[in-house]
Each structure stands twice: as C-alpha cells, then as structure tokens.
Chains A and B, each alone.
Chain A
C-alpha cells in the first residue's frame, strides 16, 4: 500500500523547501554564478571565466589554508578519536554513580564553540593564562613566556585544535559508548575464558563491533572540523600571519573584509563540492537506502 502519494510528498516537502531553497540552495546557485566574475566593490561585474578558480589553486591562493584545514582535521579529529575511545573504555564501567560522572563529562558538549574559543583564549594567554602557569609549575616550561600559544605561528593552529579537542572529545566518547551498547556481553565473557587480555578484547571484539558507529562519528567530525569557524575566529581570527587560517576563515575574510565576492565564491564552491562529494562517497559505503526498505 502506498501511504504517501507523490503529490502528498511534494505538498508536505514544499513548505520546508521554500525556506531551504531561499537560504541554502539559492545562495549556492548565486555563488556558482558569481565565481565566474570579478565583482568590484560597487557591484560591477566582469566575466573572467575560470580565473578565480585558477587563482585559488596557485601561489597566493588558498593552498596554505587548505593545508591548515587538513592539519586541523587530522590533528583534532585524530586525537579526539583516540581519546574518545580511551574515555569510552573507562566510562563504560558500571558502578554506583557512574551515570552522574558520565553526565558531567558530557556537560560541556553543548557549549557554544564561540564560548569554548574564548575560554581557551583566556587560558592560553601568555602572561596571565593558567595553562602556561601550570606548565611552568609542573616544570615543563621554564617561564610562562616560553610558548606563546596564540601569538606564535608554530603554535596557533595547534592551540585552536586543543580547544576543538576539549569541546568534542565527549561527543566521540558518547558515540563510541552508544556503539558499545550493541556489544553482546557473552562475547567478552567467552573471550575472557579463552584467556584474552584487555588489549585483545578491545582490538578483536570491541573495535569491530563499534566500527560502523565509529565511521559515522568520524565522518560527522571530519566535516565539522573542516568547517570550523567560531573557535578559530574567537582564538586567533586566523592569525598570526594566517598561520591558523582555515578555508572557512579565508572565505569569510575574503567576503566580509576584502569584499572580493567573485573570488570568495569560487573558493566556497570548491569547498562545498568537496564536502558534498565526501558525504556522498562516505554515505554510499555506509548506508544503502535499498537495503533498508527491504
């Protein structure tokens, strides 16, 4: 029995589609057009073909930002995944009060990325920041001016990664814990009887069970890390000397500060295309609509 006719489907989808069409699809179409033009501050347009795209991929384009974005993704998501996994193994334990501890661990999860950025900016300040103060007291740094987290080109991107890791490791942990719930405890018991140690249990039983969840979590996180804006903006605004500038930041700066709409559109089109292709490829391997309906 067909519950929803094609007409009803369109009718129900339409109101939402009006919103999404106006503020998601229309902007993208506008940008695709704009990307072929050089647009002056007064709004005068000159058709320049693919020049904006060529500019993006040559020296002085967004290659540096592309590299920064990739580093950001690899460092932040990589560490988040490893830590999330370790945390999940600890927090999986059931004891009196374990739920409360777990809740507290997850409490920062929904804090605004902007607030997370501001918090870490305060903590990583060179003179009155608590991070360097603690590192000095422990003896890792000889003085609190040794690492200028936000003002040194070497550290600025890493500093942003740290804030990201703080904000989203609980998410990774949560996803992995959810995946572990699907684990049949008799498998662990059987493994224990066979004399498997903790590591063997983790690698041969737990990891395969959570693999689908882990992959989904990874895809979500990779995309979110790729488009991070608030954290980096709050901490460094992409500086110093664009050392922590990612693609999101350079697109925004090109648009809002340098007013170069054509060029920014070209970068945005490339960026969106890459994210969409990534999503589709990833989802295809994980999720098959036909399999589901059967």
Chain B
C-alpha cells in the first residue's frame, strides 16, 4: 500500500512540473520572441525558439517610443500613489477597525462597495474632473486618481490585518496617555509591517499594471508604459517584435518581485478570505 502511495506521489510531482512548464509557455514564448529578429516573430510557420539571437526588437522599441521615459512615468506614478494610498488608507482602516461605533460598519460596507466599482464605467467623469482641474496629461493627475481608486483595496487588506492585533496593545498605550494617532504610529504600525508590505506590493502592481486610467488621462508627457505598449495594437504586424520586447521589459520586474515577495502576495490575495 505504501508503494502505491509513492507512485501516486511521483506521478503528482511529474504532473505538477509539466503543468508549470505548460502554464509558463505563453510567457516564455514572449521572451523568446523578443530576442528574435523582428522578421522572425511574424514568420510563417512560427517557431518557438529564436533561430538567430538578436536584440533588434529592443532597439526598435526604443526607436518607436520613448520607452525609458514611459517606464519612469509608470514607476514614479505607481510609487507615489501607492505611498499616499497606503498612509491614508491604513490610517482610516485603523480607525474603522478599532471603533465600535455603528458608523464604522457603514464605512466598512462603503469601502467594500467602492472596491467593486468597475473603473471602465467611472473613468469619464474622472476625465472631466481632471480636465476641469487643469491636470490633464500630468503625473499628478495619475497619482491622485490611482491613490483614490486603490485606497479601498488598501483599507480592505489592512482591516483584516488589524483584526489579528489584540486591542490590549491599544489599551495599554491609551493608559500610558498616548493619543490615538500616537498609538497608531508608534504601537500599531510597527507591528503591522508585514501587512503594510503586502498592501504596498499589491497596490504598486495595481497602479503599475493599470491601462485604462492612463489611456484617458494622458497623451504625451505623463504617458505610462502600458499606454505606450497599447500603441502597438493599432499598428501592423511588423511591430509585433518590438511589442514583445516591450511586454517583456515591462513585466519582467513584476515577475521577479512576485517571486521574491511571494509570501506577501499570497497574504494579500487571501487576506480576509481565509479568516472571514
């Protein structure tokens, strides 16, 4: 009987390895394509591995769009907006979680509903508002909009983290004469570092990966990389090589960070789900 279990396990291992390779296939294919010469990407019939190793696609990419500037825009905008969302969101979530007032339940429900709103349907009023404020095509516009639309997510994640922290800590600080803000900053936040890390990484990716908001709110100056990449959509097949190079360049750091910070990502995905 033990032997049967062993074989089953080996089979499971082999299957899971095969599955993983199969699942990564599309991504590996994009990487392979980005190192092919441009003409080979659209060769008929297609081949998987590059026949000739080439960085032509990358130089074409740089020639077609200001890739480095767009990358920098994406980075600046997502970093700054994430920091804002994190500070304000964690503060608000703390108050909601620790307050016993009826109002706090209303706010929790409100936050949850705001988290569910589809961006595609509210971007145009946002666009009008940004234009009225004279912020069209500025990084500030993207920063404040990302901070706003990602804030419910930060709050939701932090709520479940605060729940795991005993209120006796707050009470002790209160007895020692600390104000609510001091308790939050000096007692709660330091314990919540893993929670903050989770919310940070997630929100950063949400902003980094966003396409729709940036598509509507930017034209040249503040254009982010996703919008630049989507520019290849309307273009002809000849540009698919540089497109692959761009997709690779854009998502490679994300993959690396995902692998390195997997613990936090898993926590973020399952926050509120496992405990609730």
Cα(A135)–Cα(B41), bound, Å: 18
* A-chain residues with CB within 8 Å of residue B123 when the two chains form the complex: 252, 255
Q: Does B180 lie within 8 Å of A4, measured CB to CB?
A: yes
Complex interface bits, A105-144 against B, C-beta within 8 A gives 1, otherwise 0? 1111111111100111011010111100100000000001
Is B125's CB within 8 Å of the partner chain A?
Answer: yes
Complex interface bits, B104-142 against A, C-beta within 8 A gives 1, otherwise 0? 110111001110111111111110110000000000000
Is A15's CB within 8 Å of the partner chain B?
Answer: yes
Q: Does A108 lie within 8 Å of B27, measured CB to CB?
A: yes
- Once A13-B96, A27-B126 are accepted as A-B contacts, the answer to whether A107 and B276 lie under 8 Å apart by CB is no
Q: Does B226 lie within 8 Å of A112, measured CB to CB?
A: yes
Cα(A280)–Cα(B44), bound, Å: 51
B171 — nearest CB in chain A belongs to which residue? Answer: A1
Q: Does B148 lie within 8 Å of A229, measured CB to CB?
A: no
Max chain A C-beta neighbours (<10 A), residue from B33, B92, B129, B208: B92
A130 — nearest CB in chain B belongs to which residue? Answer: B46
Residues 167 to 203 of chain A near chain B (Cβ within 8 Å): 169-171, 174-175, 178-179, 181-182
Q: Does B41 lie within 8 Å of A178, measured CB to CB?
A: no
* B-chain residues with CB within 8 Å of residue A25 when the two chains form the complex: 114
Least distance between B89 CB and chain A CB atoms (Å): 6
Q: Does A213 lie within 8 Å of B247, measured CB to CB?
A: no
* A-chain residues with CB within 8 Å of residue B180 when the two chains form the complex: 3-5, 8, 12
Cα(A25)–Cα(B122), bound, Å: 9
Cα(A8)–Cα(B97), bound, Å: 12
B216 — nearest CB in chain A belongs to which residue? Answer: A256
Is A166's CB within 8 Å of the partner chain B?
Answer: yes
**Interface bin, chain B:** 35 or more
- Once A9-B95, A30-B125, A175-B270 are accepted as A-B contacts, the answer to whether A216 and B118 lie under 8 Å apart by CB is no
Is A58's CB within 8 Å of the partner chain B?
Answer: no
At the interface with chain B, which of A48-56, A74-82, A152-160, A281-289?
A: A281-289
How many A residues, CB 8 Å from partner? 103
Cα(A153)–Cα(B124), bound, Å: 29
Q: Does B274 lie within 8 Å of A104, measured CB to CB?
A: no
* B-chain residues with CB within 8 Å of residue A293 when the two chains form the complex: 100
Least distance between B182 CB and chain A CB atoms (Å): 12
Cα(A271)–Cα(B121), bound, Å: 8
B1 — nearest CB in chain A belongs to which residue? Answer: A192
Least distance between A255 CB and chain B CB atoms (Å): 4
- Once A22-B129, A119-B247 are accepted as A-B contacts, the answer to whether A230 and B26 lie under 8 Å apart by CB is no
- Once A104-B24, A127-B44 are accepted as A-B contacts, the answer to whether A23 and B229 lie under 8 Å apart by CB is no
* B-chain residues with CB within 8 Å of residue A9 when the two chains form the complex: 95-96, 99, 101, 103-104, 107
Cα(A218)–Cα(B84), bound, Å: 30
List residues of A whose CB falls within 8 A of some B CB: 1-6, 8-13, 15-17, 19-20, 22-28, 30-31, 87, 90-91, 93, 95, 98, 101, 103-115, 118-120, 122-123, 125, 127-130, 133, 144, 166, 169-171, 174-175, 178-179, 181-182, 212-213, 216-217, 220, 223, 226-227, 229-230, 233-234, 237, 248-249, 251-252, 255-256, 261, 264, 267-268, 271-272, 275-276, 279-280, 283, 286-287, 289, 292-293
Task: Give the 6 A-B residue pairs with the shortest CB-CB distance, closest first.
Answer: A27-B125, A227-B118, A268-B121, A12-B95, A112-B209, A23-B148
Report 11 cross-chain contacts, Cβ distance below 8 Å, ordered by A residue.
A106-B266, A107-B24, A108-B255, A115-B209, A115-B251, A119-B29, A123-B29, A130-B29, A166-B23, A229-B119, A249-B120
